[in-house]
């Protein structure tokens, strides 16, 4: 609780009496940390509302709700920001000058998402924040003191570590810290308040998972995320999970850059990329695409989507399998974060939804039943091998 209170003051500049709206499900880590703990300890007014139901004109009603409620600080997911941007609804029709800070959390934001939100809120600070369930609170983010002095990190960068947070970016093979501008694994070198300390009844697994042996012999907390540091400002950009990086014929491709490229197609609402087992290339790119409401994605559209990826990233990144999902959408939490692990299990051969992990945090668990038959058909048609681990 103390850590979340401190980070709200440090990153958001939250003051007693101000209003704070975290759009996450209160049962999700961002929810109970930044709905129940931090804002209340800071003496703030907490707004609790499901962003999907704030107005009958959702998602455009988001701006009306913010204006009518006079919210000072908003904390939401990049996915929700992308939905707003795609919808065509802007803040222009509403007075949202009450907003001082809009924070993004949960996955890499991407510079276009940050820039679009900044256009909607020109008087507010739009910040990207990075942390994990295991860290207990924000670890890397813009600092309110820097914002007030006019320092703005490059769009899409999570910015600087919090006070006394000792982070480094290391080479995944040697364990040695890389130079600024080079990609590496994000690690934390010293303990901090709020950190996880064990796994219930399995302390050995905790050490094995979070503190694996570093080739240098140094004990570090392994976040599992790739990151890069801006050589000029020192700001840190988190690139996504190391296990969300596909290895296609020896080429390492981040899922976030693939999804960002495909999302530029005018009929695509959102998409999720996972790796499918492939006997030739090790992994092949499997994409589930959710069309915009009322849109039908044709074979010609699929060809155009593949061309977008080839043009932006390269031929190796061309999706091998594209599946269009129905109105139930992609598996998402209530805060808009896509849970790719369910799709990964299906694509790797799991057909029993009950064995795919806890689905209680999904906003739309029914989507699993609608997506699975399509995956099974795709796997059968293309003889995708099983690799269900």
The pLDDT profile of the chain, 389 residues, written as one tens digit per residue, is: 778 998 999 889 999 999 999 988 887 888 889 998 999 999 999 999 876 676 555 556 889 899 999 999 999 988 778 778 877 788 988 999 999 999 988 777 777 788 889 899 988 888 888 998 899 999 998 776 666 555 556 667 788 898 889 999 999 889 999 999 998 999 999 999 889 999 999 999 899 889 987 778 888 999 988 899 999 888 898 877 776 778 786 677 888 889 989 989 999 999 999 999 987 788 899 999 999 999 999 999 999 999 999 998 889 899 999 999 999 999 998 777 889 999 999 999 999 999 998 898 899 999 999 999 999 999 999 999 997 54
The pLDDT assigned to 145 comes to: 60
Q: Which residues pair with 76 in a beta bridge?
A: 104
Buried b (16+ CB within 10 A) or exposed e, 103-121: bbbbbbbbebbbebbeebb
The pLDDT assigned to 62 comes to: 87
Q: What angle do CA 334, 340, 342 make, to 5 degrees?
A: 90
The pLDDT assigned to 112 comes to: 78
- Measured on CA atoms in the order 112, 268, 357, 344, is the torsion positive or negative? negative
The pLDDT assigned to 381 comes to: 96
Q: What is the DSSP string of 172-228?
A: TTT-PBPPTTS-EEEEE-S--TT-----TT-HHHHHHHHSPPPTTS---EEEEEEEE
The pLDDT assigned to 59 comes to: 53
Distance of CA 260 to the CA centre of its chain: 12
> Which tokens sit at 305?
């989507």
Per-residue pLDDT of 340-372, as tens digits, reads: 999 999 999 999 999 998 898 899 999 999 999
The pLDDT assigned to 377 comes to: 97
The pLDDT assigned to 97 comes to: 95
Q: What is the DSSP string of 321-365?
A: EEEE--TT-S-BBTTS-B-HHHHHHHHTT---GGGS---TTBS-T
CB atoms within 10 A of CB 91: 21
Size of the chain in residues: 389
- Measured on CA atoms in the order 359, 365, 369, 375, is the torsion positive or negative? negative
Q: Are strands 73-76 and 101-104 parallel, antiparallel or unpaired?
A: parallel
Distance of CA 158 to the CA centre of its chain: 12
The pLDDT assigned to 149 comes to: 52
Q: What are phi and psi of 383, to 5 degrees?
A: 50, 50
What is the rounded end-to-end Cα distance, in angstroms, of the chain?
Answer: 36
Sheet holding 236-241, edge to edge: 167-170, 184-188, 221-229, 236-241
- Measured on CA atoms in the order 46, 50, 54, 58, is the torsion positive or negative? positive
DSSP 11: I
The pLDDT assigned to 24 comes to: 85
* Bond preceding residue 59 cis, omega within 30 of 0: yes
The pLDDT assigned to 337 comes to: 82
Burial of 263 (0-12, 13-18, 19+ CB in 10 A): buried
State how far the Cα of 372 lies from the Cα of 377, in Å rounded to an integer: 9
pTM over 0.85: no
Alpha-helical (H) ranges within the chain are 2-7, 29-31, 38-41, 61-69, 78-87, 111-120, 144-148, 203-210, 255-262, 299-312, 340-347, 366-382
């Amino acid at each position: 609780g103390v850590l979340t209170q401190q980070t709200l003051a440090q990153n958001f500049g939250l003051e007693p009496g101000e209003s704070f709206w975290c759009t996450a499900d209160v049962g999700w880590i961002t929810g109970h940390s930044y709905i129940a703990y931090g804002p209340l300890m800071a003496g703030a007014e907490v707004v609790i509302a499901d962003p999907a139901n704030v107005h009958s004109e959702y998602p455009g009603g988001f701006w009306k709700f913010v204006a009518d409620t006079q919210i000072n600080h908003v904390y939401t997911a990049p996915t929700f920001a992308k939905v707003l941007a795609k919808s065509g609804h802007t803040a222009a029709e509403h007075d949202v000058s009450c907003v001082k800070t809009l924070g993004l959390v949960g996955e890499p934001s991407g510079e276009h998402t940050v820039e679009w939100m900044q256009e909607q809120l020109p008087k507010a600070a739009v910040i990207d924040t990075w942390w994990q369930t295991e860290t207990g609170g924000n670890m890397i983010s813009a600092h309110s003191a820097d914002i007030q002095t006019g320092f703005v990190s490059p769009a899409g960068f999570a910015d600087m570590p919090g006070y006394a947070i000792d982070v480094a970016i290391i080479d995944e093979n040697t364990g040695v810290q890389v130079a600024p501008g080079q990609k590496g694994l994000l690690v934390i070198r010293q303990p901090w308040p709020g950190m996880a300390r064990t796994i219930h009844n399995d302390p050995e697994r905790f050490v094995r998972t979070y503190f694996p042996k570093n080739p240098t012999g140094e004990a570090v907390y392994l976040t599992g995320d790739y990151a890069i540091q801006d050589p000029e400002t020192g700001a840190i950009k988190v690139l996504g999970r190391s296990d969300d990086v596909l290895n296609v014929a020896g080429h390492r491709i981040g899922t976030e850059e693939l999804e960002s490229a495909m999302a530029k197609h005018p009929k695509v609402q959102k998409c999720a990329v996972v790796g499918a087992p492939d006997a030739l290339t090790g992994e092949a790119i499997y994409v589930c695409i959710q069309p915009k409401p009322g849109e039908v994605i044709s074979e010609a559209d699929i060809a155009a989507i593949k061309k977008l990826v080839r043009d932006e990233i390269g031929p190796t990144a061309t999706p091998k399998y594209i599946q269009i999902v129905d109105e139930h959408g992609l598996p998402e939490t209530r805060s808009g974060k896509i849970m790719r692990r369910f799709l990964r299990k299906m694509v790797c051969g799991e057909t029993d939804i009950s064995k795919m992990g806890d689905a209680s945090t999904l906003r739309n668990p029914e989507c699993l039943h609608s997506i699975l038959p399509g995956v099974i058909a795709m796997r059968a048609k293309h003889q995708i091998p099983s690799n269900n681990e």
